[in-house]
Structure 1
Amino acid sequence: MSQQCATRYPLVLVPGMLGFIRLVLYPYWYGIVSALRRRGAVVVAVKVSPLHSSEVRGEQLLVQIQDILRQTGAGKVNLIGHSQGALTARYAAARRPDLVASVTSVAGPNHGSELADYLRIHYPSDRAKGRLLKALLWLINALMNLLETGYRGPKLPVDIQASHESLTTTGVALFNEHYPQGLPDTWGGQGPEEVDGVRYYSWSGILQPGRTDRGRNLFDGTNRSCRLFARTFVREAGQCDGMVGRFSSHLGTVIGDDYPLDHFDIVNQSLGLVGRGAEPVRLFVEHAQRLKAAGV
C-alpha cells in the first residue's frame, strides 16, 4: 500500500447540513475516503446533528474526537469539514486546540451564506412558506435517518431554526466574534496559517458557465439546484458555488477559491457526476500529502 497520504494524525471528515456517513451503501464522501485509505491515510467519517447550530454540532464532534483518539492512540486529529462542517470543525478546534492539529474548510460559509439570508427574508419561520420549508427539511432528515447505515451512535437532536440561523451572515458574524481563529483580517484575504498550534486551510469552487454546467453535471440534479440557488447571491453574484460565496469561504491558507466545482461537486457528489475538468478527489489526496509534509 502507498503511504503518500499517511499523515501523522487521523483525518476526520465532518459533513455539512443534512450530512450523513452512508445512506444504505451510498457514502457522503463519495470516492474520497477510499482514495485516501489506499494511499495510507487513517480516515474517519463522522456524523453530527444534520440540522442544528454549529456550536451544538461542535460539542458532538468533540465527543467523537476523544473517542477516535482513544481508539487510534493518536494525540490529535486533522479536521476536514464541508460546508457547515467547516464551522463545526472550527468550533471544536477553538474549544480544544490541544486535540486538533489542523482544520480544513471545504466550501465552508466562514462569513455566512447569502442563500441562507435569502431564505430568512423570503421564507420566514412564522409564515406559511417558512413552515412548509421547515416541514420539508424535517421529512428529508427523517428519511435520511431511516437510510443511514454508517452511524451507530446516540440519537442526534434536531433544531431546524438554529441550523438556519447558524448559516446566515448575521449568525456566522456572531459565531466569528467568539471563534475567530484562522479568519482573514480583510475581505477576500488569507488568514493566519497557524493559531494556538492549529493549522488552518481552505478551498472552494465557483460556478463557471461552460465548465460546471457541462460534462457529467448535465446528468446531476444537484448542479441544477446550485445554479438556481446562485441567483439569490448579490454581494458575490457570479462568484459562488450555489450555496457559498468565493470570498466568504476563506480561512487560513487559501489553497484555491475558484475551482470549477459547485457546492456538491466539491465532495464528489452526486455519484462522482462533476463538471468538465473537475477532480475533487485529487484535491483531498493532494491535501493529505500537504498535511503529511507539514508533519501533522
Structure 2
Amino acid sequence: MTSFSTTTLLKRLILGVALIGSAALSSGCYAGTTSTTAKTRYPIVLVHGMAGFDSILGIDYFYQVPAELRRNGATVYVASVSSFNDNDVRGEQLLKQMKEWAAASGYTRFNLMAHSQGGPTARYVHGVAPEMVASITSIGSPHDLSAMQGSNALGDLLTNYSKVVAAFGSVIGWASGNSKLPQDPVALQAWAANTAAFNARFPAGKPTTYCGEGAEKVGNTLFYSIAGNQPKTNGWDISDAVLAKAAASTPGVATDGLVPVCAAHWGKVLRDDYPWNHLDEINQVLGLIGKEAPDPVAFYVQQAARLKLKGL
C-alpha cells in the first residue's frame, strides 16, 4: 500500500484552501434571469470545508455557485461553521443554522452540498437529525483516511502548530464576519487521525470496500459523492503549482491535490475523475479551471436538477 500521510493531507488543506483568500481580488456574478432547472423541493445548503468560509470581501467560498443556483430557481443557504474544528462541533453549528432556517421558512428538510471537510460535517447532521436531511452530496471530501499512514506525525503537527492554526482560523472567521466561531485544531486532529471511529458512528452511505461505493439511499436520505483527479489544471491559477507539488509527493495515488480520490467515495459515486483539483471543485481560484474542463458551477446546477427529479 502506498503511504499517504494524514499530516501531508492536513498541511495541504491548510495551504491550498488559504489560497482562496489570497486571491480574493475581484468577484463576478451570474445574470439574474430565471429558470426552474435547479428548483428543488427542499432548499440547498452549501457547506464549506476546513479553512473555509461563507464569503470574504464579497468572494464566495463556492465561487459563483449560490448565484447560479438561485438563477436556476433554487433556494440556497450558505452555512457558516468553524474553519478549524472537528465534525461534531461543526455539525452542531450547521444543525443550529438549519433549525433557524426551518423556523423562519417553514422548510423541514434540506439538501446538503458539502465540499472537503464539509462532507463529514454534513454526515454528522444526518446522524443526529436524519429527518432534516433530504440528501448529502459531498465534493472532494476526506471521508475515509483509514488507509493512510502517519497519524502520529499528524498529531505532532497539530500539537506543535495548534496556536498558529487556531489563529489562522480566527483570521478567516474575522474576515468573514464569523469571529465568534470556535477554532480547535486539536479536535480536528483527533478526527483526522481516526476517521474510522467517526465512520463507525455515522456509517450511512459508507462504501462496502475502500474505494468502492455505498448505498445511494439510507432511510429517507440520498447520498452522492464526486471527486477531481487533476492537481494541476491551469497555469494561470496560483494554486495549481502548490497542488501539483503536493501531489508529486505521493506518486501512484490519484488525488485532487489535497484529497485522495478513494477517500472521497461515499454513497453513490457519480464520478471520481473530473479534471479538477481541490479548488476547481468549488470554482476557485476565481473561476480558473483547465482548458475544456467541465464547468464546476454547472455541476451544482446539474446535481440540483438530479435531486429535483428524485422529488427532493
User: Which bracket does the TM-score occupy, shorter chain normalised?
Assistant: 0.7 to 0.9
Q: Which residue of 1 aligns with 2:42?
A: 9
Q: Which residue of 1 aligns with 2:72?
A: 39
1:114 to partner: Cα distance: 7.7
Q: Which residue of 1 aligns with 2:175?
A: 147
Cα separation, partners in 2 of 1:175 and 1:233, compared to 1, 3 Å:
farther
Counterpart CA distance in 1 for 2:310 and 2:51 is 32
Aligned partners of 1:118 and 1:232 also within 8 Å: no
Aligned partners of 1:202 and 1:252 also within 8 Å: yes
Counterpart CA distance in 2 for 1:176 and 1:142 is 28
Q: Which residue of 2 aligns with 1:199?
A: 222
Aligned partners of 2:114 and 2:138 also within 8 Å: yes
Pairwise mapping of residues 1-296 of structure 1 onto structure 2 (< 5 A)? 1-112=34-145, 120-121=152-153, 124-125=156-157, 131=160, 133-149=161-177, 151=178, 155-168=180-193, 171-207=194-230, 213-214=232-233, 217-233=234-250, 237-278=252-293, 279-296=295-312
Unaligned runs of 5+ in 2: 1-33
1:122 to partner: Cα distance: 6.8
Cα separation, partners in 2 of 1:164 and 1:122, compared to 1, 3 Å:
closer
Counterpart CA distance in 1 for 2:147 and 2:66 is 30
| DSSP 3-state at the match of 2:226 | strand
Q: Given residue 203 of structure 2, which amino acid in structure 1 is its aligned partner?
A: P
Unaligned runs of 5+ in 1: none
Counterpart CA distance in 2 for 1:12 and 1:242 is 25
Scaled by the length of structure 2, the TM-score of the pair is: 0.83
Cα separation, partners in 2 of 1:119 and 1:222, compared to 1, 3 Å:
farther
| DSSP 3-state at the match of 1:248 | helix
Q: What RMSD over aligned residues (CA atoms) do the two structures have, in Å? A: 2.1
Aligned partners of 2:154 and 2:189 also within 8 Å: no
1:277 to partner: Cα distance: 2.2
Counterpart CA distance in 1 for 2:236 and 2:155 is 29
1:124 to partner: Cα distance: 1.3
1:135 to partner: Cα distance: 4.1
Scaled by the length of structure 1, the TM-score of the pair is: 0.87
Aligned partners of 1:229 and 1:242 also within 8 Å: yes
Identity %: 35
Aligned partners of 1:244 and 1:263 also within 8 Å: yes
Q: Given residue 292 of structure 1, which amino acid in structure 2 is its aligned partner?
A: K
1:219 to partner: Cα distance: 2.0
